[in-house]
Amino acid sequence: MNMTEGSTIEFKRIYVNDIAKTAVAFANTKGGRIYIGIEDDGTVAGIDDADDVMLKCTNNLRDSIKPDITLFSECRMENIEGKDVIVLEIQKGTASPYYIASKGIRPEGVFVRQGSSNVPATETAILKMIKETDGDEYEDVRSLDQNLTFLEAVKVFDNENIPFGLTQQKTLGIINTDGVYSNLGLLISDQCVHTIKVAVFEGTEKLVFKDRTEFTGSLLKQLSDVFEMLGRYNRTHSEFGGLYRVDTRDYPIEAIREVLLNALVHRDYSFSGSILISIFDDRIEVVSLGGLVKGITYDDIMLGASIPRNKKLANLFYRLKLIEAYGTGMPKIISCYKECYTKPMMEVSDNAFKITLPNMNLAGKEIMTGSLTVKEKACYELFKGERELTRKQVESSLTVSQPFAVKILNGLVDKNLIDRVGKGKNTRYELK
């Protein structure tokens, strides 16, 4: 026999279970043939029970290798030098990396052919194969971890009376067409590797920590847990408007909710860093990795245009009624602050996205130390005690002339701090 072992040929004296390792290596590289019944030196020994060996080969390939390799394999018997030999021919597959099912998509389970040897693929090589096969969309790519559980996801879907069976997982994209978990599955699984870090600071600078927590597990659990923590730091301030008490939270609950959903749906999960949330006395900052999605601008987002970076994750949130409609997040956040002097701020870099929510109960205090003149500040303080004043009262209290009193009051009206009510002699001014 003229053949020798090499990059596309392997000899086996008898059938052994580890032919699956060689089949994986051939399918991941450039294909090859396994001859069962031939010694390592090329001597033809033959086999006794060809039918039994062929059955073992086909069963082994079907049960031991993922994705399904049977379409790229052929098992047949050949007569070489008058003896029966089994030839298992493997083509290069179109869904690499192929791997030993019991080992998973990691170097212990993924093999490539180098010369006449089967060697574990490096993690870099595995990621390259995945990208070449699955494309660049992170959530569509096969998860490196296939031992996933969905305890939290099942609980959330059950609460919404939405089925979470195999059919639904395939429809949502949690399981791909090859029957393996995608990165979308990883994101909502209990084994999700991406986290959210929340830090609470004393004052308005990142100098003194009051609290810090890292949230792990399914994104669905992280969303719920982080929302609960932010709720604990979202204090309620009470004031009396006449006979009735008016309660105001530091931050609109709807704005917090939309900011969290925005950070999760638009985050670039190909980066390993965490979403960072910083809570200060005067603001909350949320930073997520990933700049603007290609084809959309800052102005587009402010107008309500939306191209979610992770479309299937956004669709999953939509199914769970966490997202009402695409593109409504930023308009909702801005609307929550329509009566507030200080507005939310959005900043974008090439690889990061930051949203700052101002503390609504400190907005007035910030104005007092900022854009008002000395007399305007003094006048504004008068309203805190009276709620309603006339021009004559301002003249008397501040000891200023009539024209100057009008100028001061007009300045506060222009800065949206007080309202002018009535006309002529009945004109009065009220604190907003």
Predicted local distance difference test score (pLDDT) of residue 149:
96
CA dist list (Å): 365 to 10, 238, 340, 341, 415: 79, 16, 12, 11, 14
Between 14 and 371, where is the model more confident? 14
**Is 315 a residue whose pLDDT tops 90?**
yes
**Is 125 a residue whose pLDDT tops 80?**
yes
Q: How far apart are CA 327 and CA 314, in angstroms?
A: 11
Q: In the CATH hierarchy, which fold is given to the domain comprising 196-363?
A: Heat Shock Protein 90 (3.30.565)
Domain ranges of the chain: 9-133, 138-187, 196-363, 371-431
Q: How far apart are CA 31 and CA 20, in angstroms?
A: 13
Q: In this prediction, what percent of the chain has a pLDDT beyond 90? A: 50
**Domain 371-431 top-level CATH class:** mainly alpha
430 forms beta bridges with: 388, 419
Task: State the DSSP H helix or E strand holding residue 345, giving kind and residue range, or none if neither.
Answer: strand 345-348
| 218, 192 contact by CB (below 8 A) | yes
Got the DSSP string for 358-399? E-GGGHHHHHHTTT--HHHHHHHHHHHHHSEE-HHHHHHHHT
**Is 373 a residue whose pLDDT tops 70?**
yes
Q: In this prediction, what percent of the chain has a pLDDT beyond 70? A: 91
- Cα 343 from chain centroid (whole Å): 26
Predicted local distance difference test score (pLDDT) of residue 317:
94
| 301, 292 contact by CB (below 8 A) | yes
pLDDT band at 240 (very low <50, low <70, confident <90, very high): low
Predicted local distance difference test score (pLDDT) of residue 365:
47
Q: How far apart are CA 88 and CA 238, in angstroms?
A: 78
**Is 242 a residue whose pLDDT tops 90?**
no
Average pLDDT, integer, range 56-68: 93
338-348 pLDDT, tens digit per residue, is 877 678 888 88
80 forms beta bridges with: 83
Neighbours of 42 (CB within 10 A): 14
Average pLDDT, integer, range 127-145: 83
Q: How far apart are CA 328 and CA 392, in angstroms?
A: 47
Q: In the CATH hierarchy, which fold is given to the domain comprising 9-133?
A: 3.30.950
**Is 117 a residue whose pLDDT tops 70?**
yes
Q: How many helices, marked H, and strands, marked E, lie in the chain?
A: 15, 19
pLDDT band at 138 (very low <50, low <70, confident <90, very high): confident
Written as six digits, the tokens of 56 are: 């073992």
Q: How far apart are CA 338 and CA 241, in angstroms?
A: 20
Average pLDDT, integer, range 48-67: 92
pLDDT band at 367 (very low <50, low <70, confident <90, very high): very low
Task: State the DSSP H helix or E strand holding residue 412, giving kind and residue range, or none if neither.
Answer: helix 402-414
**Is 370 a residue whose pLDDT tops 60?**
no
Instruction: Determine whether 48 is exposed, middle or buried from the number of CB atoms within 10 Å of its CB (0-12, 13-18, 19+).
Output: exposed
